[in-house]
Amino acid sequence: MVDTTASVSKNNTLPQLKNSQLHTGVLLVQLGTPDSPSVSDVRKYLREFLMDGRVIDYPYIPRFLLVNGIITTFRAPKSAKVYQKLWTKRGSPLKYYSEDVVQLLQQQLGDGYKVVLGMRYQNPSIKSALENLKDSGLEKIIVIPLFPQYASATSGSVHQKVMELIQDWQIIPSLHFISYFLDHPKFIEAFAEIGKRYMQEDTYEHYVFSYHGLPERQIRKGDASGTTCLIGDCCATWHAGNKQCYRAQCFETTRRLATALGIPQDKYTVCFQSRLGKEVWVQPYTEDVVKDLAKRNIKKVLAFSPAFVADCLETTIEVGEEYKELFEEHGGEHWQLVESLNTHPLWIDLLTDLVKKQN
Ligand SMILES: C=CC1=C(C)c2cc3[nH]c(cc4nc(cc5[nH]c(cc1n2)c(C)c5CCC(=O)O)C(CCC(=O)O)=C4C)c(C)c3C=C
Ligand SMILES: [Fe+2]
Ligand SMILES: [Fe+2]
């Protein structure tokens, strides 16, 4: 009698079947950060970042002249000083929090998934992350840019880069792109949970929700109808006409967070930080709001930065230190930053939900 089980086993059919089990790749993409806080690494980072045509959306030659002239000559040494303040033994917080999130998500998702990290600029690159995913069992890739709100300069740029890199693959797996997740209940719950800890410890007279800014021109470019964005009170509600608008998404994030935290409308202000260059950016600017609050004799402010999921230069230094100094210079007394989601368990749960929803 022929023992079929034994022959199957000898022919290696069973292990092969196991190896070829289909699995899902999860690519988390963060903005990127310099490899070190040295001027030359910061220059390299800024050059790659700002030469992205979705970030500085000028034609190539003016962009090249601007980036290689003013920005990398004058900005790099200034930024390097700030990065030196931010740097820790583990390096840049944006990078090590992202690495921790990858590990935690991998543990939570378990077998059948492979989670990798790519940085849109510098390292680890999206290219290397995709190479790590590539193997014969890869059925689909879920791409999650780690930005709660959609902007062409962030999530849009990540999507474009992934499509460019994958276009030459022999087998293109199914691709699922997440554009934003500000409306995921766990995003609001996680930020609110962190904020509440501060609100229980102390009382605040006013709450600031400061988002990364964008040139107004880029907001208008995203308005296909040309009849919605930056016209009247365009961000007062979140509807089909402004669903993908970054500014409208920031206002919607704030409304949801304020509701979760029980903050009345007259006690909070939405504003936009980090303006670069001479163009008009989305308003109000955080620095004007900070000065105005101090002038209105408001002494105690709690500041949220819900455009970021990990602490970085923009939160720790800009909101946590620079706006605090500005507030105090103008008569304010207590300015407190609410830290970012970093490795909060609800943040890992949210990412797990995003992945599982695509299955
Ligand atoms: C919310 C996400 C972000 C948007 C939108 C965004 C747009 C944007 N940024 C610049 C220029 C700079 N940003 C810089 C730092 C930086 N930006 C984001 C996120 C968004 N940017 C993060 C998370 C960080 C911090 C990175 C870190 O390493 O901690 C910098 C570098 C620092 C500096 O020199 O100030 C620049 C420059 C533009 C022009 C832009 C939209 C057009
Ligand atoms: Fe930025
Ligand atoms: Fe808009």
**Ligand 1 pocket residue status of 31, Cβ below 6 Å:** yes
Q: How far is the CA of 126 from the centre of ligand 3 (A)?
A: 29
Give the DSSP letter of residue 67. I
Atom of ligand 1 nearest to the CA of 318: 35
Can you give the pLDDT at residue 323?
Answer: 98
Q: What are phi and psi of 35, to 5 degrees?
A: -70, -30
**Ligand 1 pocket residue status of 51, Cβ below 6 Å:** no
Contact 257, 306 (CB under 8 A): yes
Task: Report the C-alpha gap between 137 and 140 in whole angstroms.
Answer: 9
Give the tens place of pLDDT for each residue, 246-289.
999 999 999 999 999 999 999 999 999 989 988 999 999 999 99
Q: Which tokens sit at 114?
A: 């492979």
Q: How far is the CA of 261 from the centre of ligand 3 (A)?
A: 25
**Ligand 1 pocket residue status of 76, Cβ below 6 Å:** no
Give the tens place of pLDDT for each residue, 204-221.
999 999 999 999 999 999
Q: How far is the CA of 282 from the centre of ligand 2 (A)?
A: 13
Contact 190, 304 (CB under 8 A): no
**Ligand 1 pocket residue status of 116, Cβ below 6 Å:** no
Give the tens place of pLDDT for each residue, 294-351.
999 999 999 999 999 999 999 999 999 999 999 999 999 999 999 999 999 999 999 9
Please, what are the domains in the chain? 23-180+345-357 (3.40.50.1400), 185-337 (3.40.50.1400)
Can you give the pLDDT at residue 20?
Answer: 56
Q: Whose CA is nearest to atom 37 of ligand 1?
A: 46
Give the DSSP letter of residue 240. G
Confidence bin at 2 (pLDDT 50/70/90): very low
**Per-position DSSP letters for 208-260, written without gaps between them:** EEEEE--BHHHHHHT-TTSSSTTSSSTTSS--GGGTT-HHHHHHHHHHHHHHH
Taking alpha carbons only, the member of 219, 208, 220, 167 closest to residue 306 is 208
Residue 53 has pLDDT above 50, yes or no: yes
Can you give the pLDDT at residue 359?
Answer: 77
Beta strands 206-212 and 300-304 are parallel
Q: Which tokens sit at 180?
A: 């934003």
Task: Report the C-alpha gap between 266 and 246 in whole angstroms.
Answer: 23
Binding annotation for Fe(2+):
212, 314
Please state the pTM of the whole predicted model. Answer: 0.93
